[in-house]
Structure 1
Amino acid sequence: MKILVCDVCDFEQEKLNEIKKNCEDELILTNEPLSLSLLDQQDSIDGISILGYSYVDESILDKMSEKQIRYLSTRTIGYDHIDVTYAKSKGIHVYHAYYDPNNVADFTIMLMLILLRKAKVSICRSLVNDFSLDGLQGRELRSLTVGVIGTGKIGSTVIKNLSGFGCKIIAYDPFEKEEVKQYASYVPLDELYQKSDIITLHIPLTKENYHMIQAKTIDKMKKGVILINTARGQLIHTKDLIDALEQEKIAGAGIDTLEEENGVMHEHIGVRIIDNRDLLYLKQFPNVVYTQHYAFYTKEACDSMIVCGIRSIQDGYHQIKTICEI
């Protein structure tokens, strides 16, 4: 079979070359995103693997169906850049990647500690030889209540790791897990908003939870709450977050992903003009830590996503082929 691998990044090249060398199937590697013109250039493709830089809409899926390409994988955990419902209607199998949750869970707790100890201000001061303590008094995790929204693999790992800090942990998820209950208490979402000193998001993006953190929900939170988002940027209404920071309703935010990050995410902007005013304004707050959507970015996780991206197509193709032959 032949697999077109799009969006290839420098950090993926070594692992993909290794797979290509030891693989019976043909891999065509390109750093281009998936597009209609790229599809027109390809013949006899059986599967396509992408990253989040490619947006797979109805036009792309129609072209894939026309060219009888039945397998699509994303080398990411999230798949909101793919119209999965339409893909299903066209008979296209869609796969997403997997990695162990430790990378994002570790990153999440790191953001909490950075914000609690006001490390951003401390580091910036030390760079100009300002070693004063004014405004740097922090808080300890053991004194606080942490609310975890979403107890899937990552959320559950965050909870387990947080248990060692001695903080009170509450959680919300429509599907409760017994193993989580030894570390955290499940509560209704409104109660989590009201009682948490820190709130951290670990849910996929859906139509139902788009902008779930907005003015109305922020009003339910404690004054001085800290907000962490290592999940999906569109879960938070950026302008409402900015308003809450200005009003000191939110005391700090750890943001690894932002809803308006297209054209900025994973790019070296350099001296180019950025027209993303919300991003520029948000990151200037002394109590906001904005990182470049890289909570996932460890060697272990990247290798796992690459392998998933290729193997899922191979397994799907060969399984279906075997069934058809029978």
Structure 2
Amino acid sequence: MQLVVFSAKPYDKKYLTSARAAELDSAAGIDIVYHEFPLSLDTVALAAGASAVCAFVNDALDARVLASLRAGGVRAVLLRCAGFNNVDLEAASRLGLFVANVPSYSPEAVAEFAVALLQTLNRKTHRAYNRTREANFSLDGLLGRTLHGKTVGLVGTGRIGVAFARIMSGFGCRLLAYDPFESDEFKQYGEYTDLDSLLPQSDFVSLHCPLTDATRHVVNADTLSKMKPGAVLVNTSRGGLVDTRAVIAALKSRHLGGLALDVYEGEGALFYNDHSGHIVDDDELMRLTTFHNVLLCGHQAFFTEEALREIADGTIGNLCDFLHHRPCKYALVQDDGPSSPLVRKDSVPIRI
């Protein structure tokens, strides 16, 4: 059978090839074809004749793309990521497609990166690095805050949220969290409250929730106004959680003290590719780059050796389960209909 991988980078090829080799018996006969460009309505024809496709966070898996995949013979959609907000699961169920994600890869990878962003912004090490390269050793403008004793608010306490809480607890922070589904593990480190109570108390707010209809633009003009003046916001989850125009306004008014983003709501056409030789016409993204108290990264929080290995192993494992008609615990939609419930809370890494 043939597996077509979209949005494939060299590291995807390396780890997926290794994972297939490790599953020698179960993965025998699997031929993998790699395409560097994303899956979309324009590229879906390249999957014709394949049994399965493998997609990433910014690939389009809406109803039209899924219908085209099914018409071309595809029966399985494998997500080499935890989030699945880019997949129309209802359409997949109607079409009889198998869909599975990889929810359990190295939550520490993302949590550690969130802490790195928070501390870089807080202690202004990015600015110090640039200064010292020009022999400027002045400390003016580099004043930060001690984390010990500060209040950190988490929105979402799944695997990554709990890993983040564990680290921040080690700094001596007070932890508050909002999540409709409370975690007993998080309660070792902090306490739950509602969002309206969390925001005005938190010196730092970190987002660890999925992108759903309920969470889209959870950070907006109203919620930003409730945040503590000077607070820092960190987002390593999904770009659509944050209303970009609203955070730009909050930064301009000095109400928001800092912003660290590893994700961006308009990232689909930009991230994971080199645009340094081109004019980027996303005015909001370019406006964010002008603030000295904003950090932007290209969706790299997951990017560790350990996480890539676990993602590849999980993806090939899901495919082998499908091929050999074995129960797949990470199936979001079975090939004979949806799992129950259709979207499981444990299918997302941390998140509300």
TM-score, normalising length: structure 1: 0.93
Q: Which amino acid aligns with 1:14?
A: K
Shift of 1:36: 5.3
Q: Deviations over 1:108-132 (max 9, x none)?
A: 1111111221222222221222111
Shift of 1:2: 3.1
1:222 aligns with 2:222: no
Give the SS at the match of 1:142. coil
Q: 1:52 is matched with which residue?
A: 57
The alpha-carbon distance between structure 1 residues 262 and 7, as it changes in their structure 2 partners (threshold 3 A), is closer
Query: Does structure 1 conserve the Cα–Cα contact (< 8 Å) formed by 2:155 and 2:208?
Result: yes
Query: Does structure 1 conserve the Cα–Cα contact (< 8 Å) formed by 2:47 and 2:72?
Result: no
The alpha-carbon distance between structure 1 residues 39 and 234, as it changes in their structure 2 partners (threshold 3 A), is closer
Give the SS at the match of 1:227. strand
**Larger RCO (alpha carbons 8 Å, 6+ apart):** 2
Q: Which amino acid aligns with 1:64?
A: L
- Picking from 134, 155, 159, the partner of 2:161 is 155
Structure 1: unaligned runs, 5 residues or longer: none
The alpha-carbon distance between structure 1 residues 279 and 310, as it changes in their structure 2 partners (threshold 3 A), is same
Give the SS at the match of 1:143. coil
In the alignment, the residues of structure 2 paired with residue 60 and residue 109 of structure 1 have an alpha-carbon distance, to the nearest angstrom, of 37
Shift of 1:206: 0.2
1:281 aligns with 2:287: yes
Give the SS at the match of 2:110. helix
The alpha-carbon distance between structure 1 residues 247 and 42, as it changes in their structure 2 partners (threshold 3 A), is closer
Q: 2:263 is matched with which residue?
A: 257
Q: Deviations over 1:180-223 (max 9, x none)?
A: 11210101111001111100000010011111101111011110
Give the SS at the match of 1:103. helix
Q: Which amino acid aligns with 2:194?
A: P
The equivalences for 1:23-172 within 5 A come to 23-31=27-35, 32-35=37-40, 39-40=44-45, 44-97=49-102, 98-172=104-178
Q: Deviations over 1:58-107 (max 9, x none)?
A: 22211233244221111111111211121112111211113020101111
Q: Deviations over 1:237-265 (max 9, x none)?
A: 00110111111101111110111222220
Shift of 1:269: 1.1
Q: 2:10 is matched with which residue?
A: 10
| Range with bigger deviation, 20-29 or 107-116 | 20-29
Aligned-pair Cα RMSD in Å: 1.9
Query: Does structure 2 conserve the Cα–Cα contact (< 8 Å) formed by 1:3 and 1:25?
Result: no
Shift of 1:20: 4.4
Q: 2:277 is matched with which residue?
A: 271
Query: Does structure 1 conserve the Cα–Cα contact (< 8 Å) formed by 2:6 and 2:53?
Result: yes
Q: 1:196 is matched with which residue?
A: 202
Q: Deviations over 1:25-54 (max 9, x none)?
A: 322322243355655455643221112242
Structure 2: unaligned runs, 5 residues or longer: 328-334, 336-352
Query: Does structure 1 conserve the Cα–Cα contact (< 8 Å) formed by 2:55 and 2:80?
Result: yes
Query: Does structure 1 conserve the Cα–Cα contact (< 8 Å) formed by 2:203 and 2:228?
Result: yes
Shift of 1:161: 1.3
In the alignment, the residues of structure 2 paired with residue 93 and residue 287 of structure 1 have an alpha-carbon distance, to the nearest angstrom, of 44
- Number of residue pairs matched? 322
In the alignment, the residues of structure 1 paired with residue 49 and residue 274 of structure 2 have an alpha-carbon distance, to the nearest angstrom, of 36
Q: Deviations over 1:213-234 (max 9, x none)?
A: 0111101111001000000011
Q: 1:291 is matched with which residue?
A: 297
In the alignment, the residues of structure 1 paired with residue 278 and residue 97 of structure 2 have an alpha-carbon distance, to the nearest angstrom, of 39
Q: Which amino acid aligns with 1:275?
A: D
Q: Which amino acid aligns with 2:302?
A: F
In the alignment, the residues of structure 1 paired with residue 207 and residue 297 of structure 2 have an alpha-carbon distance, to the nearest angstrom, of 15
In the alignment, the residues of structure 1 paired with residue 127 and residue 150 of structure 2 have an alpha-carbon distance, to the nearest angstrom, of 22
Query: Does structure 1 conserve the Cα–Cα contact (< 8 Å) formed by 2:47 and 2:53?
Result: no
In the alignment, the residues of structure 1 paired with residue 287 and residue 45 of structure 2 have an alpha-carbon distance, to the nearest angstrom, of 41
Q: Which amino acid aligns with 1:51?
A: F
